[in-house]
Amino acid sequence: MTITPAAEPRAARTFPQDFLFGAATAAYQIEGAAHEDGRTDSIWDVFCRVPGAVVHADNGEVACDHYHRYADDVALMADLGLQTYRFSTSWSRVRPDGGQVNKQGLAFYSKLVDQLLEKNIKPWLTLYHWDLPQALEEKGGWANRDTAYRFAEYAATVHDVLGDRVDAWTTLNEPWCASFLSYIGGEHAPGRQDVPAGLAAAHHLLLGHGLVVQELRKRDPALQLGITLNLTVADPVNPDDAGDLDAARRIDGQFNRFFLDPIFRGRYPEDVLRDVAGNGFETVVQPGDLGIISTPIDALGVNYYHGEFVSAKPGLQETTTAAPSERPKRSPFPAADGVYWHSRGLPQTAMDWDVQPEGLTRLLRRVHDEYSGPAGVAIAVTENGAAYDDVVLADGSVDDVDRRSFLTAHLGAILDAVDDGVPVTGYFYWSLLDNFEWAWGYDKRFGIVRVDYETQARTPKASAIEYSRIIGERAL
C-alpha cells in the first residue's frame, strides 16, 4: 500500500489591512423612476427608444427600482459585509435638462448617503456614468466644449449637498465608452457615428474632469478625487510581426494612453495624434486645456474586464463590444480600422469576453510603474465582473460557480500585483445587482445578487456568499 502524504494546507493569502472591499452600480442601470420627482430624459432614455438600439427595446424606466428600494439595497450590502459602495449620481435627476437644480433629485442621493453611512459603508461617488441630459446633447453633447463647463456646474451642485458626507469623488466613468463607443461607434447613446465628434467628445470629457477636480479641490482640499478608466492589456498575436505589433500599439493608444497621458503627463501621445490626424483634433485642444486636465488627482480607478489579442490579419472574432443593432457598425476609433481580434482560447463569459485574470496583474503593474506610481496616486479596481447565464434552482438559489471562480481569480490577480509592490487600495465587483446592461438590456446578468425583474426580489447568488466570506476573513 502506498501512503500519499497529506496535501499541504494552502496558506491563506491575506489582503492589506486598509484594502476596501466593495461593489459598484450606476444610476441609469439600477435606479428606474426615470421620469419621477422631476427627472427628465438623458441620452440613454432617448437612445432606448431608437428601434434596434437596445435588445428587446429594454430601457431604464424601472430597472431595479433602486430609487424606491435603496434602503433595502443598502441593508443587503451591509449583510454582505461590503465596506464601500460605488454608485453614480444622475445629472438628469440633479439638474434636469442640464438646467435648474432639482431639490427632490438631490434629496434621493442625500438619503442614500445617509443610509450608507449609518451602515458604515463608505460612499464612493461617480459624477458621470454616461447619462448626459438629452437637452445638452441637443446642443452638441460632449462634442460641444460648453458641456465640460456645464459638467463642472453640475458637480458643484452635487458637492453643495453631499460634500459634507462624501470623501471619495470620481469625475468620469470610462470616458472611452462615453466618447469613442458613443460618438464614433454609435453603439452607445447618443448613437452618433462621427469621428471628429468622438475625438472632440473625448477631449471635452477630459476637460470636464479637470475642471471638476479644480473646483472640488478648491472647495475642500481633503477630498479624495479621481477618475475611472477602462484600461486593457493589448497583446500582439505574433510579437515578431510588425503589423501585429502596430495593431497592439494602436489599441493600447486608444484605450490606455489617450486618457492616461493627458491626465498624468499633460499631453496626448504623439503616435496616437498621428493616427487620428485629419479629424480636426488639433483645433479642439485649446491652450491651457492640458494643464487643466493634468491637475493632480488622488485616486485612479481601473476598470478591467479582459485583454485584447490583436493582429493586422483577420481573426476569429469581431470586437465583442458590438451591440446587437441593425445599424451599420464601424470601428469605434479611427486608428483601429484594420485591427482584428483573435481568440486566445480562454474560457469566456456570456459577453464572449475572455476570462484573463493575469491581464489584471500586468495592467496594474504597468499603470503603477508608468503613471500612478510616479505621481503618488493610489489605484483602486473600480470595476471587474462577469455576466453568465445564471440558472435558478428549484429552491430559488443560484449556484454561479463560474462567477465565483472569476471573482476569486481576479482577487488573486490583485494580490499578485500587491505582492509586486503595487499599492491597490480596493476592489469593487461589478455589479452588486443584475441590471440594465446598456445595449444588451436585461439579458446579461453581472450581479452577485440576482434580480427578478417581475417581482424585484433580490437573491444573493453563491458568488455573493463567497465574496462575503472573503470580506469577513480578509483572505482568499
Contact positions vs ligand IFM (CB under 6 A): 26, 29, 174, 303, 383, 430, 437, 446
Residue 451: CB atoms within 10 A of its CB come to 22
Q: To the nearest whole angstrom, how small is the minimum distance from the Cβ of residue 383 to ligand IFM?
A: 5
Spatial strand order of the sheet with 340-341 comes to 234-236, 308-311, 340-341
Transcribe 11-45 into DSSP letters: PPPBPPTT-EEEEE--HHHH---TTSTT---BHHH
Q: Pick the closer one to ligand IFM by CB: 246 or 437.
A: 437
Q: How far apart are CA 179 and CA 183, in angstroms?
A: 5
For 337-359, letters b (16+ CB in 10 Å) and e give eebbbbeeeeebbbbebbbbbeb
Q: To the nearest whole angstrom, how small is the minimum distance from the Cβ of residue 245 to ligand IFM?
A: 28
Q: Pick the closer one to ligand IFM by CB: 101 or 350.
A: 350
Computed over its alpha carbons, how large is the radius of gyration of the chain?
A: 21
Q: How far apart are CA 321 and CA 71, in angstroms?
A: 33
Q: Pick the closer one to ligand IFM by CB: 264 or 304.
A: 304
Catalytic residue (choose from 174, 308, 437, 466): 174
Q: How far apart are CA 195 and CA 177, in angstroms?
A: 14
- The HSE-up count of residue 40 (CA atoms within 13 Å, CB side) is 13
Bond from prior residue into 9 cis (ω within 30 degrees of 0) = no
Question: Is residue 174 flagged as an active site residue?
Answer: yes
Q: Pick the closer one to ligand IFM by CB: 236 or 385.
A: 385
Q: To the nearest whole angstrom, how small is the minimum distance from the Cβ of residue 306 to ligand IFM?
A: 11
Q: Pick the closer one to ligand IFM by CB: 249 or 410.
A: 410
Q: How far apart are the first and last CA of the chain?
A: 35
Identity of the amino acid at 465:
I
- Find residue 170's DSSP bridge partners: 126, 226
Compute the Cα dihedral for 159, 213, 127, 184 and give only its sign. Answer: positive
Q: To the nearest whole angstrom, how small is the minimum distance from the Cβ of residue 234 to ligand IFM?
A: 18
Catalytic residue (choose from 187, 308, 383, 437): 383
Provide the angle, in degrees to the nearest 10, between the axes of the packed helices 258-265 and 195-219: 30
- The HSE-up count of residue 69 (CA atoms within 13 Å, CB side) is 18
Q: Pick the closer one to ligand IFM by CB: 249 or 445.
A: 445
Residue in the block written with cell 471587474: 384
Q: Pick the closer one to ligand IFM by CB: 87 or 281.
A: 87
Q: To the nearest whole angstrom, how small is the minimum distance from the Cβ of residue 432 to ligand IFM?
A: 12
Q: To the nearest whole angstrom, how small is the minimum distance from the Cβ of residue 174 to ligand IFM?
A: 6
Q: To the nearest whole angstrom, how small is the minimum distance from the Cβ of residue 173 to ligand IFM?
A: 6
Q: How far apart are CA 453 and CA 253, in angstroms?
A: 39
Q: How far apart are CA 212 and CA 389, in angstroms?
A: 39
Q: To the nearest whole angstrom, how small is the minimum distance from the Cβ of residue 116 to ligand IFM?
A: 20
Question: Is residue 383 flagged as an active site residue?
Answer: yes
Q: Pick the closer one to ligand IFM by CB: 351 or 475.
A: 351
| Catalytic residue set | 174, 383
